[in-house]
A and B are shown apart, each in its own frame.
Chain A
């Protein structure tokens, strides 16, 4: 593998900012009264609460799909290296996460509640919060795995002591999850929002955010002057407010997301979806002038190829080929852009999980957004800038 420039690693937690009054990041954890399943389903529906893991699935629908006695999985594994928001939440506000897990567990009369994390610091913070909460059903499990391991079927396979890779035939957790039993599984931030919703009630919950998506979201931001940061933002604000003075393509949705040159976007999942953009796990990045954008994209492409679980042919063979094409472009060597597009097309939409499709979406949109740079490299005039690794590939575990 060609190493491109230095590989700085963010090993300290990013700085925290809030754009309005914080809720998830408020200093005091609210008292969360018990609510039954019907209350939660109706309240989640009223505030249009969407899952925070990346798929933005309606929480009410998912909760309504499981009956009493369902297991609960809180996914705090945060496999995406550019994302920090889940670890920030678990480390700084573990009581809110645990309150959300206990709330859902009580509403579903769950015999088992598992919070799955992939780093020791978050695990310790959550275990202390579980002791304070006193709900003995809650178990914090430290699971080691790769990026695709955070995909829900892979995570549940790992929790069931099988190899943590995605299933070949998709079975959703509400049908068969923990121990093969129906399971309500969602991202940690989703549980924190359910705790807030139970504490505030839907009306007060909806006093911030937009009509299309009340409330706030956590965002991990990279590439601006302030470096890596985690922010809590009310929905509906202009995306440009996050990136400040920066002009140029913006990455939305992380390494399974897409680059866009649009400047009129707002932070709101339904509005972004209507614009054909997935918010993913809330990673937003811009590239400062000093770094080579083609090099940054190639470096992430190589990482994405390395992350393949190597179960499915198009992903196992396609992503490394595409990454190698990109490395050649970075070096100003000969590469056929038409061939590259054709290969990207051959990987998209194939495989057992979303990884190949998410990866090619990131790569293809990046090539389009930084077209002028790509052309210069292809014409044998590489930009000469170093690839600084503004887009992080790991660390902090």
Chain B
């Protein structure tokens, strides 16, 4: 089961991932992502979110 992971040392809290994947990602009080399950989300959409992160901090882990 794959899951979303964040490299916290890279993430600057741009929040793009939460906009692109609102089903799986919300933001905390300080604008940093809280990741949930990917479940059966469209892999292409997940891939777009991963590729769109300005800090390349989002990844999918097996």
Residue A312 at the B interface, CB < 8 A? yes
Contact residues of A: prevailing secondary structure: loop
Nearest-CB distance from A361 to chain B (Å)?
18
Q: Mark A residues whose CB is within 8 Å of B.
A: 165-169, 311-315, 317-318, 321, 343, 346, 350-352
Nearest-CB distance from A137 to chain B (Å)?
33
User: B29 and A352: CB pair below 8 A?
Assistant: no
Residue B28 at the A interface, CB < 8 A? yes
Interface residues of B in 9-59 (CB under 8 A from A): 9-13, 28-32, 34, 57
Which residues of A sit under 8 angstroms from B7, Cβ to Cβ?
168-169, 352
The interface on chain B, measured as residues whose beta carbon lies within 8 A of the other chain's beta carbons, has a size of: 14
Which residues of B sit under 8 angstroms from A343, Cβ to Cβ?
29
A343 to B28, CA, bound (A): 9
Chain B residue at minimum C-beta to C-beta distance from A315: B8
Nearest-CB distance from A231 to chain B (Å)?
37
User: B29 and A312: CB pair below 8 A?
Assistant: no
Which residues of B sit under 8 angstroms from A311, Cβ to Cβ?
8-9
Contact residues of B: prevailing secondary structure: loop
User: A346 and B28: CB pair below 8 A?
Assistant: yes
User: A314 and B9: CB pair below 8 A?
Assistant: no
Which residues of A sit under 8 angstroms from B34, Cβ to Cβ?
346, 350
Chain B residue at minimum C-beta to C-beta distance from A339: B29
User: A313 and B8: CB pair below 8 A?
Assistant: yes
Given contacts A314-B8, A315-B8, A321-B30, 11 further A-B contacts (CB under 8 A): A168-B8, A168-B10, A168-B57, A311-B8, A312-B11, A313-B12, A313-B13, A314-B28, A314-B30, A346-B34, A352-B9
Nearest-CB distance from A256 to chain B (Å)?
17
Q: Mark B residues whose CB is within 8 Å of A.
A: 7-13, 28-32, 34, 57
Which residues of B sit under 8 angstroms from A165, Cβ to Cβ?
9
User: B32 and A313: CB pair below 8 A?
Assistant: yes
Which residues of A sit under 8 angstroms from B8, Cβ to Cβ?
168, 311-315, 350-352
User: A313 and B9: CB pair below 8 A?
Assistant: no
Nearest-CB distance from A343 to chain B (Å)?
7
Contact with A167, one of B9, B13, B29, B32 (Cβ below 8 angstroms): B9
What would 7 A/B residue contacts be, using CB atoms closer than 8 Å?
A: A311-B9, A312-B9, A313-B13, A315-B8, A317-B29, A318-B29, A343-B29
Which residues of B sit under 8 angstroms from A350, Cβ to Cβ?
8, 32, 34
Which residues of A sit under 8 angstroms from B13, Cβ to Cβ?
313
Nearest-CB distance from B13 to chain A (Å)?
5
A168 to B11, CA, bound (A): 10
Chain A residue at minimum C-beta to C-beta distance from B10: A168
Which residues of B sit under 8 angstroms from A318, Cβ to Cβ?
28-30
Chain B residue at minimum C-beta to C-beta distance from A347: B28
User: B29 and A313: CB pair below 8 A?
Assistant: no
